[in-house]
Amino acid sequence: MGLRHFLTALTVLPSIVYCQSPLTSSKRGLVYVPSEKYPQDDANWDSPTSDLTWYYNYGSKPSPAFANFPKLQFVPMLWGTGNSSTFLSDVQSQIKAGANITYVLGFNEPDGDSSTGGSDIPAETAAQIWMQQIEPLAKQGVKIGAPACTGAETGRQWTQEFFTACSNCTIDFIPVHWYGDFQGLASHIGEYVGTFNKTIWVTEFADAHVNLQESQTFYNQSSSYLDRTENVTHYSYFGAFRSDVSNVGANSAMLTQDGKLTDIGSWYLGGGETGSVPKSAAYRKTAFIRSSLLVGLTTMWCVL
Ligand SMILES: *[C@@H]1O[C@H](CO)[C@@H](O)[C@H](O)[C@H]1NC(C)=O
Ligand SMILES: *[C@@H]1O[C@H](CO)[C@@H](O)[C@H](O)[C@H]1NC(C)=O
Ligand SMILES: *[C@@H]1O[C@H](CO)[C@@H](O)[C@H](O)[C@H]1NC(C)=O
Ligand SMILES: *[C@@H]1O[C@H](CO)[C@@H](O)[C@H](O)[C@H]1NC(C)=O
Ligand SMILES: *[C@@H]1O[C@H](CO)[C@@H](O)[C@H](O)[C@H]1NC(C)=O
Ligand SMILES: *[C@@H]1O[C@H](CO)[C@@H](O)[C@H](O)[C@H]1NC(C)=O
């Protein structure tokens, strides 16, 4: 093979090799987003074949839904300044009661403001809270994740400032978030490893607001990549909710508008494809308008 053909083969190869996602992975966890309206959806995450090993819920205490599901290890998170004062005591009392807490996560999107779900905290403030509420856990042998910034450039800057402000902090790994395409995810992870030389957890990721085919291709490529990449030890796909309430587009969701596992949802849990196609709230509205129109037309027909 000439060099040119070899290079072409090299660029073509990944898309052939990575188009199928591996069925199971020990790195996988759940970003748990409970549904008040449909608590029965929780049963999806508790399937006997599920390969999920851990979960987080953006809070410091475990979710009652998983109390009898020891396969899912709880990872507490100190979300933001508003709920930081009891973090240490919350986690220590779980450890005292015999819970296997081996990891905790720092602040959620501190470089983002509340309008996008960020906790909006200056790095210096985060560092002060960290020394009081998180650092003592490191002394107890718990592994600590840095604050998880947004995928924007502000995220890496914030993390840099945090490493400076928190030079005495024990930081074992860095959780990152990504919403975008696969190339972007891979280079984002590469940048973090290159800049900070830490192992990475990808604690939120999806290709937001793309069509179903693109969502699935992204899922397959990224899960396969994350499984192969040694520097990534844990990942949790963003989508443990119904497609009609998804804020990252219906096609990324792991559940349909009726609470059934989508193909992605099932693949993520180590199962086969379900053929259940996720629909958005807009689709529902259109369907509703169509049926009201029909009712209206029928009524008019009757009046006439
Ligand atoms: C994704 O991977 C699954 C197997 O895990 C395969 O059945 C499916 O065809 C793949 N889809 C795409 C779009 O690559
Ligand atoms: C922590 O506080 C923020 C802001 O008040 C809130 O949005 C979030 O839901 C809280 N998290 C928990 C787990 O209580
Ligand atoms: C606690 O969880 C870790 C994985 O996070 C596992 O390696 C370890 O075996 C668990 N310990 C117990 C006592 O279950
Ligand atoms: C880090 O610890 C050293 C030694 O205890 C102390 O002198 C220094 O002020 C600390 N740095 C910060 C940023 O707290
Ligand atoms: C990266 O971290 C490892 C320890 O995890 C260390 O052995 C290595 O020297 C570090 N590399 C650089 C360039 O700092
Ligand atoms: C990243 O992975 C490479 C091997 O693929 C390894 O040499 C390096 O130490 C890892 N870095 C970290 C921070 O884990």
Which ligand is closest in space to the CA of residue 71?
A: 3
pLDDT for 10-68, tens place per residue?
Answer: 333 343 444 566 677 899 999 999 999 999 999 999 878 888 999 999 999 999 999 88
pLDDT, residue 259, reads 97
Nearest CA to ligand 4 atom 11: 168
pLDDT, residue 200, reads 98
DSSP letter string, 239-252:
--SBGGG-SS-GGG
Ligand 1: lining residues by beta carbon, under 6 Å: 19-21, 213, 216-217, 220, 267, 273
Q: Is 277:212 a contact under the CB 8 Å cutoff?
A: yes
Which mutation among 27, 176, 193 tests ligand 6's pocket best, with the greatest number of atoms within 8 A of CB? 193
Q: In the chain, which residues have pLDDT < 70?
A: 1-22, 284-304
**Closest ligand 3 atom, CA of 100?**
1
CA distance linking residue 13 with residue 190, whole number of Å: 20
Going by the DSSP 8-state scheme, the letter that residue 152 receives in this structure is S
Is any ligand 4 atom within 6 A of the Cβ of residue 167? yes
pLDDT, residue 21, reads 65
Which mutation among 20, 181, 252 tests ligand 1's pocket best, with the greatest number of atoms within 8 A of CB? 20
pLDDT, residue 300, reads 39
